[in-house]
Structure 1
């Protein structure tokens, strides 16, 4: 069996036997069963640039720090001020500077330089996410002939949006150095293939397989999942504080609506709060009964757009509570800090509604976690944005347009009166889907596709990667 080499912006905690998040759960299992290496940034920012190598049984952890300039221009710059907003359809928020793309290319060269001496000829290489799009091209320039796969954890935008990104033609040629390009949804695959048809001279062999020069590239969807059993077990644990709060709501005949997101403009948090306000205005019978808990963990606080969204949420929370609150009831609880996953799972379990309405999302594993956490006998209702990748799979959720505040408010009203029979029927279908496509299934499907992907031929040397201008 080939050894697996995983490369991502950040690595998982290989010392911990229990992983969190679909990426870490699937990958650590694969690394431990096959043996291999996980390469990435160690999270440190400073002058020291020396790589660190540690071994955990049959798995090597290879990490490096970033300099302050690299962190500012590669990570916060091109990755999160150009690619992140563009891939989430927010071209208006792009902050393009030449030094950003130069440093982005340079850091990918640095990753390649660090990794290449440790590679074996028969390794399978799996590269993750938008931070490392040029990495396969760097490996090919160093005569690496291994099969190299890529998986994008965020949405791939429409052809016209992607073509608006500075250096999109360079990014396209970097993409075409992979043997397998994995995306979250069928819509993402369609967007990528349409871009190639309109903006490249690749030859389409099938609807999702192309030939470029002498390389065959497969483009396919692999919707990422969660560790369903682990999250369900956490939801069943006892927490006295949460249990007392659940009992209080039962006695007072109240119900909780919950959202949990990173604080990010792609998540639609202000629109969500406005929809809840609309719900209270249109359905006054729920004033004093419905409680909305918004957990928004801090994210990229050095980027100005995130400070703006935080200020807007704080203002909305105050405005809604000021208008509707009573001496023993506040309609919105807003928490801007990280909550332990065990507590989050229990909060999901005791919430009647999971309100997950991003404006654009690659998958959204929170939606799947909400489903996994529910009590089969008394399940909650998932309200899900049609622009979340999870909506392709979880069609038994109440699907809404997150831009339409009235639509979301109506969905809240529908959830508030939904019969137990309908709730159970929807939940059975959702849980079957979430369980049938969990983190390990995602990993197995991807690696099987990578192993069978077309073997790279002798790559033509006329491809020249962007070099600092």
Structure 2
């Protein structure tokens, strides 16, 4: 079996007992490496050095898997990661041109770090290796490897959305990014809509397009591209939620505090793509239009800090705290707070237990590649008394989770009505909607996603 080489911006190292970090992606990729008797996982160590020129690979072997880590210089971190990746690619791929801040030096830093990764990785690759590269940080990596004579199969999976052509071409160096993607043998997108956007970008620029089922031709290369919706470790997460429901102290105390109240939950990393302020405004409208709900429901919003060194995120944190404070001050009472706001990370088992407690899972991104919170919420539910998923139609998960109540997060009035419908939904309908989604997730879990992509990547040329 060919050796599997994984490259990602960050590398999730196992714990002292050799267990992979919590989270479906890390678990699935570790399992794929072990299934092949080991392999190589390369990426940034997370460490930043004050001086340039010290970048090299530090290798360690754990349970038969070789982890190859490199530090970044402070300049590389600022230009590659905080700069072009997260202040240009991230907002543009999420259709937020207004938030993109392009600078030529940051663009140069992005391609420079990808050249660094290629310089470090290329000498370690063998002709029959299979290389799987992940996410928007490393789009140019295959092209750089090809220039260094690497001929093995290279695949790429984009975890975030691919934008429509009108959005993409507003980005300086868009053609360089588009051309770099065509250096891969297999391209994976989250949804059929992302794949269609990519195909339209090729057609719009008159550089290529589909020539068969999943087969594309562009920039003098033939490659495969398809939708490979990422998922979660469904059965494991369901067991985790069931255990936390009766065995976790924080979950138990939260349950006790909800006596006689229904719970709505939102859990998101702090990011403008998640629609958190729109969600709070819809919840406020619900309380205004249904005053009988006051004191009888509680909204728990879990939002860990994210990318605090990027100014837009610091401003967003302040805006969200002020909005929640206004709603609580205007609509709360001495014995009831409308919104419980947690601005810190919670453990995976705690979150699973809280999802299981919640009568409504509120997932309202303005744009999202997939959104695994939606899938985790479904997996965490009690089969006998499941909650209702209220889901933005702009999340990739909406293409799969047919039992969710879909909303337009920009329409706070409609979202408020949908939350009220979810809170009032009869048990039989809740069970029917949940069962269909859960059956799908049990079949299409993260291992299925991993095997599906690798089957395409390992297919004969």
TM-score by length of structure 1 reads 0.94
Deviation at 1:214, TM superposition (A): 4.6
| Aligned partner of residue 297 in structure 1, secondary structure | coil
Runs of 4+ deviating beyond 3 Å: none
Contact 1:384 1:391 in 2 (8 A): yes
State how 1:195-234 maps to structure 2 within 5 Å.
Answer: 195-202=201-208, 204-206=210-212, 208-212=214-218, 214-234=220-240
Contact 2:199 2:209 in 1 (8 A): no
Q: Which residue does the alignment assign to 1:444? A: 451
Contact 1:22 1:224 in 2 (8 A): no
Q: Which residue does the alignment assign to 1:39? A: 42
Contact 1:257 1:351 in 2 (8 A): yes
State how 1:86-101 maps to structure 2 within 5 Å.
Answer: 86-101=92-107
Q: Which residue does the alignment assign to 2:25? A: 23
For residues 161 and 220 of structure 1, what CA distance do their matches in structure 2 show?
21
Q: Which residue does the alignment assign to 1:131? A: 137
Of stretches 273-282 and 225-234 in structure 1, the one that deviates more from structure 2 is 225-234
Match for residue 327 of structure 1 among 322, 326, 334: 334
Contact 1:14 1:28 in 2 (8 A): no
Contact 2:265 2:358 in 1 (8 A): yes
Q: Which residue does the alignment assign to 1:64? A: 70
| Aligned partner of residue 133 in structure 2, secondary structure | strand
For residues 38 and 131 of structure 1, what CA distance do their matches in structure 2 show?
16
| Aligned partner of residue 262 in structure 1, secondary structure | coil
Of stretches 240-249 and 80-89 in structure 1, the one that deviates more from structure 2 is 240-249
For residues 386 and 348 of structure 1, what CA distance do their matches in structure 2 show?
20
Q: Which residue does the alignment assign to 1:11? A: 11
Question: Which residues of structure 2 form unaligned runs of 5+?
Answer: none
For residues 141 and 361 of structure 2, what CA distance do their matches in structure 1 show?
38
Structure with the bigger RCO (C-alpha within 8 Å, sep 6+) is 1
Q: Cα–Cα, structure 1 residues 102 and 213, in superposed 2: closer, same or farther, change >3 Å?
A: closer
Query: Is 2:170 aligned against 1:164?
Result: yes
Of stretches 62-71 and 50-59 in structure 1, the one that deviates more from structure 2 is 50-59
For residues 275 and 203 of structure 1, what CA distance do their matches in structure 2 show?
41
Q: Which residue does the alignment assign to 1:463? A: none
Q: Which residue does the alignment assign to 2:147? A: 141
Deviation at 1:18, TM superposition (A): 4.1
Q: Which residue does the alignment assign to 1:102? A: 108
State how 1:266-345 maps to structure 2 within 5 Å.
Answer: 266-345=273-352
For residues 220 and 287 of structure 2, what CA distance do their matches in structure 1 show?
60
For residues 237 and 188 of structure 2, what CA distance do their matches in structure 1 show?
25
Query: Is 2:86 aligned against 1:80?
Result: yes
Residues 259-310 of structure 1: CA distance to partner in whole angstroms, max 9, x if unpaired?
0000000000100000000000011110111111100011101111111111
State how 1:429-440 maps to structure 2 within 5 Å.
Answer: 429-440=436-447
Q: Which residue does the alignment assign to 2:182? A: 176
State how 1:291-440 maps to structure 2 within 5 Å.
Answer: 291-440=298-447
Q: Cα–Cα, structure 1 residues 276 and 265, in superposed 2: closer, same or farther, change >3 Å?
A: same
Deviation at 1:201, TM superposition (A): 2.1
Contact 2:302 2:342 in 1 (8 A): yes
Contact 1:193 1:208 in 2 (8 A): no
Deviation at 1:229, TM superposition (A): 2.0
Contact 1:258 1:292 in 2 (8 A): yes
* RMSD of equivalent CA atoms: 1.2
Deviation at 1:97, TM superposition (A): 0.3
Contact 1:384 1:397 in 2 (8 A): yes
Deviation at 1:243, TM superposition (A): 1.7
Contact 2:118 2:144 in 1 (8 A): yes
Deviation at 1:57, TM superposition (A): 3.0
